[in-house]
Amino acid sequence: ELRDRPLVINFWASWCPPCREEALVLERSWQQYRDEVTFVGVDIQDSESAARAYLAEFHVTYPNGRDLDGRITIDYGVIGLPVTFFVNRAGVVERRWVGAIDEARLTSWIDELISGEAPSGETDGANLEGFRELR
């Protein structure tokens, strides 16, 4: 139901330090691009109260939901946090970033999604210092 609009999907958890590092970057980008791109957060392995506290702490206003049974996490092949997916208007995942994403990369990839450009350069990146494996 979100087709015809670029989508940024971010998997996170309140206990994940790199998720906390990128939270404000994601919210700022959402505020900047909200008329052109949909953001969705997917919380995993958290209690509802911990998830709500995290969203309040970082003033997150884009839509978020909890992956209670882990199905979304499995479907996307998430093995650690945070992970951000960039989905084009046709519903195709164009890029994936593993680990905390920096603002320059985030906005650059969002700009590509908006313009409809095919990805150039790396389409699957990683910041392993800013990544926590799931256990």
pLDDT at res. 1: 64
pLDDT at res. 70: 92
pLDDT at res. 89: 93
Mean pLDDT, 10 residues at a time, the chain of 135 residues? 86 97 97 97 96 98 96 93 95 92 94 86 74 73
Cα dihedral angle (55, 56, 62, 68), rounded to 10 degrees?
30
In whole angstroms, what is the distance from residue 35 CA to residue 103 CA?
A: 18
3-state SS of 66-130? ECCCCHHHHHCCCCEECEEEEECCCCCEEEEEECCCCHHHHHHHHHHHHHCCCCCCCCEEECHHH
Q: Which pair of tokens denotes residue 70?
A: 């882990």
**pTM, whole model, 2 decimals?**
0.92
